[in-house]
Amino acid sequence: MSKKIKKILLKKNKSKIVSLTAYSKSIAKILDKYLDIVLVGDSMANVLYGHKSTHKISLENIIQHTQSVKMGIKKSLLVVDMPKGSYKNKKIAEKNAKLVIRRTACDAIKLESNKKNFEIIKFLVQKKIHVMGHIGYTPQFKKKFRVEGQTKNESLKLLEEAKTIEKAGAFSIVLECLTPHAAKLITSNLKIPTIGIGSSSYCDGQILVTDDMLGLSGFYPKFVKKYANINRIIEKAVKKYTREVKFKKFPNNSNYLNGSKLRK
């Protein structure tokens, strides 16, 4: 087991695990200073590529964005989301996971659970691949959004699913849009850390889509706290630039390249 993975496991019941998504070097470089985990999520399908679902993103898209993110990462654990269809069976999953790891040098991969692919996780772990699980609302396999764990029976079923993923060897598990009761039940019954998104503070850690929490994506459901309004900042800057170009205020003397110096 790698040192970075051990560090994440040791945080269980001690300190919260903090994570966000990144799709490029510039954002990853900032996140890396503060976070434990950076995820290259298939949410890039919606956020960057404007798809209605995450299904259309390709493995090549994921690999190229991860190569960019990797350049900004020094210390955090870099996890890569395997896109839909890339882990259909053991052989395809092994081939694609190894390809992602070889081309990106990421630390781990994440697979969504469809309540049947536990053996694939087990197989990948046996091949020494670090796997993060993902249960609850799993957009690759569920057509309609629904908060899960609304009854005692549903919570117990989710717990069983999480325990099977733990037994298969996953080092952590994302809980997406579960009731606080289900998140608490699972977190207190697993040895591996749970990372919540829309699943209350009972989880061992939290993850959000960076573009959502920065106010860039325009997607702000109740579970997202908007920590900034980057859209407004960008708009203000672009408006100012437009005005200055039109009124010949930019570029001015201080931006002219008279000598051989490129930088100020």
Task: Please tell me the distance from the alpha carbon of residue 182 to that of residue 233, in angstroms, as a whole number.
Answer: 38
Tokens representing 49 are 């590529």
Question: Across the chain, which distance is largest between two alpha carbons, in Å?
Answer: 74
Contacts of 23 (CB under 8 A, 6+ apart): 40, 41, 44, 47, 48, 65, 68, 69
Which span sits near ligand KIV by CB under 6 A: 27-35, 41-49, 68-76, 115-123?
A: 41-49
Per CB under 6 A, the list member of 97, 120, 177, 197 interacting with ligand KIV is 197
x-marked contacts with ligand KIV along 5-24 as a string, rule CB under 6 A: ----------------x---
Which span sits near ligand KIV by CB under 6 A: 22-30, 36-44, 165-173, 223-231?
A: 36-44
Residue ranges of alpha helices (H) inside the chain are 3-10, 25-32, 44-47, 59-70, 90-104, 118-126, 152-168, 180-189, 210-213, 230-246
Q: Is the dihedral of CA 239, 232, 31, 100 positive or negative?
A: negative
Task: Please tell me the distance from the alpha carbon of residue 93 to that of residue 86, in angstroms, as a whole number.
Answer: 6
Task: Please tell me the distance from the alpha carbon of residue 168 to that of residue 117, in angstroms, as a whole number.
Answer: 10
Tokens representing 144 are 């309609």
x-marked contacts with ligand KIV along 48-87 as a string, rule CB under 6 A: ---------------------------------x------
Which span sits near ligand KIV by CB under 6 A: 9-17, 34-42, 156-164, 220-228?
A: 34-42
Phi, psi of 197 (to 5 degrees): -135, 115
Q: Is residue 106 near ligand KIV by the rule CB under 6 A?
A: no
Q: Respond yes or no: is residue 176 known to be catalytic.
A: yes
Per CB under 6 A, the list member of 28, 173, 209, 216 interacting with ligand KIV is 209
Q: Is residue 41 near ligand KIV by the rule CB under 6 A?
A: yes
Choose, from 112, 119, 176, 244, the residue flagged as catalytic.
176
| Residue 65 or 122 with smaller CB distance to ligand KIV | 65
Q: Is residue 172 near ligand KIV by the rule CB under 6 A?
A: no
In the complex, what is the shortest distance from the CB of residue 121 to ligand KIV, in angstroms, rounded to a whole number? 16
Residues that bind ligand KIV (CB under 6 A): 21, 39, 41-43, 81, 174, 176, 197, 207, 209
For the annotated catalytic residues, the residue numbers are 176
